[in-house]
Amino acid sequence: MALTDASTARRVIEGVLPVEITLAGDVSEGDPLMYSTGWKLSANTSGAEAILIAGNTGVSGDVITAYGAAVIELTHTATNVPTMGQIIAVADTGLYDDAAANTQDIGHVVEIDSDNLHSRAIVWPGQVAYDTAGA
């Protein structure tokens, strides 16, 4: 099935390669972050790919912990359950979505809860650059 990240209650289960950053926009825990005149929510922008994962929720000017790679929990509806091992990407909205042409592949689904409303993914933004060929 296709993953549609509901972006509610997303959380970082574990992060590695922590760094402290100052935000230039509002972000939620688990969001992919890009640097474009400051650290902000990634918007699937060629030349400004996601680099880090937000470890905390914050607003512009806040200093938060961000990670170079993380295991995150995603929420979705029972009709939008991803497939185990599925490649996920950064959508234009900054949410996680199915890998597709002209998106940045960012990780893989590694666990799906029995309730089919939550899944976990390993995300590491530096793994690949902008994907112009598709999944």
Residue 4 lies in a domain: no
Residue 103 lies in a domain: yes
What are the C-alpha distances in Å from 31 to residues 1, 25, 79, 114, 133? 22, 12, 23, 24, 24
For residues 111 and 127, the model is more confident at 111
Query: Cα(3)–Cα(88) distance, rounded to whole angstroms?
Result: 8
C-alpha closest to that of 30 among 64, 60, 56: 56
Mean pLDDT of the 80-88 span: 88
Look up residue 88 and give its two tokens. 């996920």
127: pLDDT strictly greater than 70: no
For residues 84 and 95, the model is more confident at 84
Residue 11 lies in a domain: no
Q: Residue 120 burial (CB < 10 Å; 0-12/13-18/19+)?
A: middle
For the chain, the domain total comes to: 2
Range of the domain at 28: 16-68
The length of the chain is: 135
Residues 35 and 57 in one domain: yes
Cross-strand bridge partners of residue 98: 88
Residues 63 and 83 in one domain: no
Task: Please state, as a whole number, how many other Cβ atoms lie within 10 Å of the Cβ of residue 60.
Answer: 13
Query: Cα(42)–Cα(36) distance, rounded to whole angstroms?
Result: 9
Mean pLDDT of the 60-72 span: 97
Residues 103 and 116 in one domain: yes
Residues 60 and 89 in one domain: no
pLDDT tens column, 7-31: 667 899 999 999 999 999 999 999 9
Mean pLDDT of the 37-53 span: 85
49: pLDDT strictly greater than 80: yes
